[in-house]
Amino acid sequence: MIKVNGNYLKLPGSYLFSTIAKRVSEYKAANPDRQVISLGIGDVTQPLSPSVISSLHEAVDEMGKRETFRGYAPDLGYDFLRKAIAKTDYKERGCDIAEDEVFVSDGAKSDSGNIQEIFDAGCTIAVCDPVYPVYVDSNVMAGRTGTYDAKTERWSNVIYMPCTAENDFVPEFPKETPDIIYICSPNNPTGTAMDRASLQKWVDYANEHGSVIIYDAAYEAYISEESVPHSIYEMEGARTCAIEIRSFSKNAGFTGVRLGFTVVPKDLKDSDGVALHALWARRHGTKFNGAPYIQQRAGAAVYSPEGRAETKALVSYYMENAKVIKDGLKDAGYTVYGGVNAPYIWLATPEGMKSWDFFDRLLEGANVVGTPGSGFGPSGEGYFRLTAFGTHENTAEAIRRIRSL
């Protein structure tokens, strides 16, 4: 008789965004005349930019000709893309990252869920709270998180580092030393970002304690303040303690195209001197056949001069929404955070309402979908996330409706 991986059975409920999607489609089915606006999942709404589209067309045409047809992509990524990434995202920012330290993938969600596989099952993890649910769920699946307490909504073997208005959304060093530390900056869900000084302290901490930082920089393109680093490798010593994950979804609108990458520096080693780079390469080789050529060509277009200008324009478009949401809600008396270096606005629910109650109130009273803060962890209770990835029209309308609640 087969037996399933029992760790999966420990997961409470379905994945956060699947739960929300289900509730929204039930609501829509019961209320077909209502125009529901989604500011829930961070999915983009603007079309792919012209240089991306023309690269996609060219690549498709190449695939249709015998001389330029390509089969399996190199499992770690095409050189043309790895080079463009190393040069633009790292060397131009003064970061010492080589192209063969860049692993191209089908997206940051997969990488942030899969990266834990290269660590021992006994490693302890620390997460910011609230947290992007993938980090915790993927470690639950790996059997690393202990038991779940439904009352406190905490796993016994996970170190939660509250990130709240009281600590300016910067995690404090935990009492116990974690082996793996997840940091997402600019942050999903709070929309806040760590400055250089704070991140340098975490890099120093990780090097002193022999921990690894898994740094999710998926929202890097949204940074507007000088004091916020674009990469953890801007910090001294990060090559020996940090893995960085990036996405094309949020900057270039690739949520439906799928492309991302992870950087694993060769200097990053475990306590026995084993290089994590070699392990991640081994994992890619065994479990991944490379992101498709067509997508990688589209990714390379993002790094062309035209592509870079188009990305800037896309980011500005969404950040105008962030301002509309932030200003509109502030004006209406809400306490709001984020929205300056990230496309997320994190608001305190009115009168300390439970996050899911506020979700219902917004859905039923304003026909607007957001994301309940408690879905991101215990410290998210009493908060709510709105995304700036909508259209200008829908965003303005959603805020108008929320204000008239």
**Contact residues: ligand MLT, CB under 6 A:** 41-43, 109, 188
Q: Let me know how long the chain is.
A: 405
Q: Tell the residue number behind the tokens 């949020």, with chain if given.
A: 250
DSSP structural state of residue 151: T
Q: Kindly give, in sequence order, each residue whose CB lies less than 8 Å from that of residue 231, ignoring residues fewer than 6 positions away.
A: 89, 90, 93, 95, 97, 217, 220, 244
CB of 267 to ligand MLT, least distance (A): 29
* Minimum CB distance to ligand MLT smaller for 109 or for 297: 109
* Minimum CB distance to ligand MLT smaller for 193 or for 276: 193
CB of 383 to ligand MLT, least distance (A): 14
CB of 7 to ligand MLT, least distance (A): 21
* Minimum CB distance to ligand MLT smaller for 124 or for 185: 185
| Alpha-carbon gap, residue 104 to 246, rounded angstroms | 10
The two structure tokens encoding residue 34: 């209502």
Residue type at 338 in one-letter notation: G
Q: Kindly give, in sequence order, each residue whose CB lies less than 8 Å from that of residue 229, ignoring residues fewer than 6 positions away.
A: 194, 195, 196, 199, 235
CB of 116 to ligand MLT, least distance (A): 16
By beta carbon distance, the residue nearest ligand MLT is 42
CB of 389 to ligand MLT, least distance (A): 8
| Alpha-carbon gap, residue 138 to 119, rounded angstroms | 12
Q: Kindly give, in sequence order, each residue whose CB lies less than 8 Å from that of residue 380, ignoring residues fewer than 6 positions away.
A: 129, 130, 189, 355, 372, 373, 374
Angle at 294 between CA 293 and CA 298, to 5 degrees: 110
Residue type at 198 in one-letter notation: S
| Alpha-carbon gap, residue 19 to 296, rounded angstroms | 32
* Minimum CB distance to ligand MLT smaller for 188 or for 251: 188
* Minimum CB distance to ligand MLT smaller for 260 or for 265: 260
CA torsion sign for 135, 137, 138, 143 is positive
Instruction: Answer yes or no: are the C-beta atoms of 186 and 193 closer than 8 Å.
Output: yes
3-class DSSP state for residue 126? strand
| Alpha-carbon gap, residue 330 to 337, rounded angstroms | 10
CB of 250 to ligand MLT, least distance (A): 7
Instruction: Answer yes or no: are the C-beta atoms of 108 and 249 closer than 8 Å.
Output: yes
* Minimum CB distance to ligand MLT smaller for 109 or for 154: 109
Phi/psi at 222 (nearest 5 deg)? -90, 0
* Minimum CB distance to ligand MLT smaller for 109 or for 144: 109
* Minimum CB distance to ligand MLT smaller for 41 or for 199: 41
Task: Give the start-end residues of each E strand in 313-392.
Answer: 336-338, 344-348, 368-369, 371-372, 383-387
CB of 27 to ligand MLT, least distance (A): 19
CB of 43 to ligand MLT, least distance (A): 6
* Minimum CB distance to ligand MLT smaller for 184 or for 294: 184
Of 303, 162, 136, 288, nearest to 214 (Cα)? 136
CB of 281 to ligand MLT, least distance (A): 24
* Minimum CB distance to ligand MLT smaller for 188 or for 349: 188
Instruction: Answer yes or no: are the C-beta atoms of 245 and 217 closer than 8 Å.
Output: yes
CB of 188 to ligand MLT, least distance (A): 5
From residue 22, alpha-carbon distances to 28, 365, 381 in Å are 10, 18, 21
CB of 227 to ligand MLT, least distance (A): 24
